Amino acid sequence: MVDVILKADSDQGLINRNIYGHFSEHLGRCIYEGLWVGEDSPIPNTDGIRNDVLTALQKLNIPVLRWPGGCFADEYHWKDGVGPKSERARMINTHWGGVEENNHFGTHEFLRLCELLGTEPYISGNLGSGTVQEMQEWVEYITFDGESPMANWRKSNGREEPWKMKYFGVGNENWGCGGNMRPEYYADEYRRYATYVRNYSGNEIYKIACGPNEGNYEWMEVLMREAARFMDGISLHYYTIPTGEWNDKGAATGFGEAEWFTTLKKTLHMDELLVKHSEIMDKYDPEGRVGIIVDEWGTWYNVEPGTNPGFLYQQNTMRDAVLAGVNLNIFNQHNKRVHMANLAQIVNVLQSLVLTEGDKMLLTPTYHVFDMYQVHMDAQRLDLNYESPGYTFGEETIPQLSLSASRNKDGVIHVTACNLSHTDELEVVCQLDAAQAAKVNGQILHHTDFGAFNTFEQPNHVQPVAWDGITVENNTLRFVLPPASVGVLAVEG
């Protein structure tokens, strides 16, 4: 049993809804077949965007969607993706599978998707192989409401009114696939390119610099020292790889107890990364203006057997669900620095919400976690005091319990909870300070097989159910978390 004190009057600032953001790259079957099938497809669609996926994603109230990459962003030339589709340039996607990219899904199509989802677009600009002029003209094309060659071209392509675009990334992974740059060089390039990411027609852009990979603290130090005043956010990328080896990352399914434990142990490293990078940022930005944008995170396993290794297609199990819940709890706890996070990726790639095969679609366990956790969006974070029991496997121990709590605008308190242990249930006794609890209900995502996943034959094999056995008496909550589970509680006064 673990004792928890929830301080209902301890407002710790807003949990930015963008923490629950997503990422769509021109990679494998994420865009084509996943989100986009084209207007002439027999698969039901709206303006080429498949309806089943659209409906599923609308339910999540996705706050922000990143596009077109990823590594693809720094070889993407946006002008190839506008105008009549029959006239758009074709290219080879050299990063991801060597397949042909026909550019049928471009700026207009992406922004239409965002409109249908009710989500903010986050566009990653090409600093690695593009020009300053190209980046400046893309922003102008999208946002300028006036007389100019780019605005007139947009209008001739069927969009009279400009779009609103809040988030723009100036390059991606420029320490690697985006140009193999040194931090000092990229800092200067960022300053140059960002100068021309202009605000047009009342549109105000939140500029995001390419930040470090994992624990590259030197990169963060240099960027904050040299360019903090020119940015609004700085990215951070961290993927959870069970083996820690890029050449053999481990399987997405059929794993054992050791792989379960190791994967969760490695994902908890996210907290250390946020603490240490935040300490560096505090030196140059003590008021906390610049946000950490964790715009690539999630699991990365070996691809499914028989699939194109460049497509990064992997299954999604209860292990991924627990891992997603743990990371979202971590982001919530760092809400004063973390302004956005984007799970990689939204459909058919890495830790997806949705998988498709032809006209079939399924929701993954990770999808259900995001559905359950959306209650934290724009809610006030509340303090939780507890000491987690240890979860030991072999000679190593990690915390068994991960929690987060918030209060929404209607005064409802929500608690999200993850049990990392694959063997032991956990009883939690939560004292509610400064709150009157009259009613409680919840949902639990759990399966007796910690490696369980959904298939096209059994799409509902893993899904949340009503959480029975929760009690509240004298402002004390009691509940039991089954092994390897994710739950959400709603407490009303």
**358-384: pLDDT as tens digits:** 999 999 999 999 999 999 999 999 999
Active site residue 279: no
Backbone region of residue 254 per phi and psi (left: phi > 0; alpha: psi in -120 to 50; beta: other values): left
Structure tokens at 57: 């994603």
Question: For position 10, what pLDDT does the model report?
Answer: 87
Q: Give the pLDDT of the chain (493 residues) as one tens digit per residue.
A: 999 999 988 889 999 999 999 999 999 999 999 999 999 999 999 999 999 999 999 999 999 999 999 999 999 999 999 999 999 999 988 888 889 999 999 999 999 999 999 999 999 999 999 999 999 999 999 999 999 999 999 999 999 999 999 999 999 999 999 999 999 999 999 999 999 999 999 999 999 999 999 999 999 999 999 999 999 999 999 999 999 999 999 999 999 999 999 999 999 999 999 999 999 999 999 999 999 999 999 999 999 999 999 999 999 999 999 999 999 999 999 999 999 999 999 999 999 999 999 999 999 999 999 999 999 999 999 999 999 999 999 999 999 999 999 999 999 999 999 999 999 999 999 999 877 877 899 999 999 999 999 999 999 999 999 999 999 888 899 999 999 999 999 998 7
Q: Could you give the CA distance from residue 298 to residue 210 in angstroms, rounded to a whole number?
A: 18
Structure tokens at 35: 């989100």
Structure tokens at 367: 């999808």
Provide CB contacts within 8 A for 162, sequence distance 6+: 142, 143, 144, 145, 151, 154, 200, 201, 203
User: What's phi and psi for 463, nearest 5 deg?
Assistant: -160, 155
Q: Could you give the CA distance from residue 41 to residue 48 in angstroms, rounded to a whole number?
A: 8
Question: For position 212, what pLDDT does the model report?
Answer: 97
> Quick check: 360 and 315 in contact, CB under 8 A?
no
Q: Could you give the CA distance from residue 109 to residue 136 in angstroms, rounded to a whole number?
A: 20
Question: For position 55, what pLDDT does the model report?
Answer: 98
Q: State the virtual CA torsion across 176, 179, 181, 185 in degrees, nearest 10.
A: -150
Single-letter amino acid code for the residue at 212: P
Active site residue 245: no
Q: CB burial class (10 A; 0-12, 13-18, 19+) of residue 212?
A: buried
Q: State the virtual CA torsion across 116, 140, 66, 51 in degrees, nearest 10.
A: 20
Please tell me whether the peptide bond between 68 and the residue prior to it is cis, using omega within 30 degrees of 0.
yes
Residue positions counted in the chain: 493
Q: Could you give the CA distance from residue 148 to residue 201 in angstroms, rounded to a whole number?
A: 12
Taking the mean position of all CA atoms in its chain, how far away is CA 80? 27
Catalytic residue among 296, 387, 427, 457: 296
Question: For position 217, what pLDDT does the model report?
Answer: 98
pLDDT in tens, 411-433: 999 999 999 999 999 999 999 98
Please tell me whether the peptide bond between 345 and the residue prior to it is cis, using omega within 30 degrees of 0.
yes
Catalytic residue among 25, 140, 173, 189: 173
Question: For position 248, what pLDDT does the model report?
Answer: 96
CA–CA distances in Å: residue 488 to residues 81, 298, 304, 410, 464: 42, 21, 31, 17, 10
> Quick check: 252 and 304 in contact, CB under 8 A?
yes
